[in-house]
Structure 1
Amino acid sequence: MNLEAKEFIKILKDNEQLWNDSELVGSKIKSYWGNEDEKEVFIAKFAPDTFVPLHDHPGREFTYVLKGEMRVNNKEFYTGDFLTAGPGDCHEILFVKETVCLIITEKNIQFIN
């Protein structure tokens, strides 16, 4: 068996990834895979009291809370909790404490006016 990394395997070390400002005030992201319009895997860090307004997802979103506390439509989520949302699952988020999440998305979110 050949254990050498094949061309399709991508290894990214945490210390090689930079935190970048997000378009959402109070948040930073480390992008690990994807592009702006399609599927993406990233770590997001949110300052306390950061608010994400009501939005929808044209594709599925998966979120695992690595650290912190947040409220999604007034339901509380803590370190170790997992949530998923898809098309039509409109929600808003309040980050109560500094929160870090692993997020996987199929499409960019769409804010609801």
Structure 2
Amino acid sequence: MTRPVLYVSGPVTGMPDDNREAFEAAADELAACGYIVRIPHWDVRPGEKWPAAMRITLMAIIAQADGLAMLDGWERSEGAQLEAHVARSLMMPVKTVSQWAARMPAKRGRKTCK
């Protein structure tokens, strides 16, 4: 079975350090569950203008992701809403980070993947 690729989506604009800590924590949690994970911070240069950043993230989602893992507060983020809309339009599952973590069986020697 191939490991699913999840793209983490959530608020970036206006957040301290572009919310990198929350994105990286989610990436670590999901990777521990066995997912392959991508976050926008790995693709978008710091200081990139919003339209260019969205083009980069949407292309990554379309080309690489099997689903979207949403951070808390994503509903208040215009970019995350757009990413979720595109993913759903392409029939990709959109779930919270905890929902994705609960779906994956625990790795050997661990009761949960969290």
* TM more than 0.5: no
Q: Which has the higher helix share?
A: 2
Larger Rg: 1
TM-score (norm 1): 0.27
